[in-house]
Structure 1
């Protein structure tokens, strides 16, 4: 297991660096990489060029003639051939994503460029074909922008995996009362569905603002249970809603510190 991070030196010149260490805290050969501008996005780790090694992708938060860049480096700190990828504007906090967008087995990249400010700000979306066959085993080691929902908010509501508790197909839809209730940080929610389909469970505060999505996936008929960790929320009344097909149900729960 290795670690890669970038620093952000706001000096008006390219003096930031990209660091990489092994599990013992020893710098990897070729690191740090110098001469970079401020690195604001999370470094992404994946096999970018099909060589079965892990490469590092970062943003380089600068504009040269109105052009921003995404950079890529090999495991020895040397630049990856065919990079950087350029956008109009800056890549400020614009972490890229990788996948097979057109389902042709070739690795694709999504990025964006940010221009303007205030009411005149504009974000443009870019997509590139890397010309490399996807190595699914090294597609991308998950990187989180502050939390698992990638919404830039420090702290998170930690949701555990849902579990199918009973193999028998239930006879009706149901959203049970959470337990314990009232609760302090952690509570359990059981529900059952009778048809296959997308199931969504969301949590709202007293003002109707959505504060968490507990479940949003395709499920088979059965009885399920999920845990809800609300340790980052304030005390108060919250509502959780189950939606699937033509069925929906809402229940109230109380968080007490």
Structure 2
């Protein structure tokens, strides 16, 4: 069984740049977030690092995740690129490093980049390693390369409209945690009448309901917001418990609607 534990609730920074990223992370840390999720391709690692440095929150109280971009997957590039990320983030070590997307067209073999990622861990550059946007076949290759127990999570798009059950069940069978990104489907689920009715019944927000649903299924979530009030409100999803009937209602909303499917990057999804 996998002994890697990652916090269940974090702050995503996708699409946030410059001062917007600094403000979001600063506000997030201020209201209680302790996991910050960034990536090389977001071009905001330096902003995240600045916000953390200025927050006054001790490094040992934080969980910082970054992701290796596909240009840096080769054996000779991965470790050096992570060292660059650490400089930007102003830390000697991140808590979790993920392969952001599989290598386009399999240009860099899974065994090669997973081996390089394991080497980064051995060097103390990252405490945990994992993957993102991997389908079952790729996850099987990653497991063959480094062992399931070495893989802390598979971070994938997962929302009430895209429930990814086969992939989630496979990850769970291997003891690999699932991290859900875009859990609110770019805000689409916030207008869903089913989720709205559940929210009304609990005196909660639709965002809290969608996040609570994912948490209750055992997934980690990393919602982002530029609004301090929303950052604070989203955190309360951790206290919300949905009934079995409500969970079943949300389960019925699955329509396989995928929003993150970049051509040339995305694998053949399960």
Q: TM-score range by the shorter chain?
A: under 0.3
Q: Which structure has the bigger radius of gyration?
A: 1
Which of the pair has the greater relative contact order for Cα pairs under 8 Å at 6+ separation?
Answer: 2
TM-score, scaled to structure 1: 0.26
Greater fraction of residues in strand? 1
More helix, by proportion: 2
TM-score (norm 2): 0.25
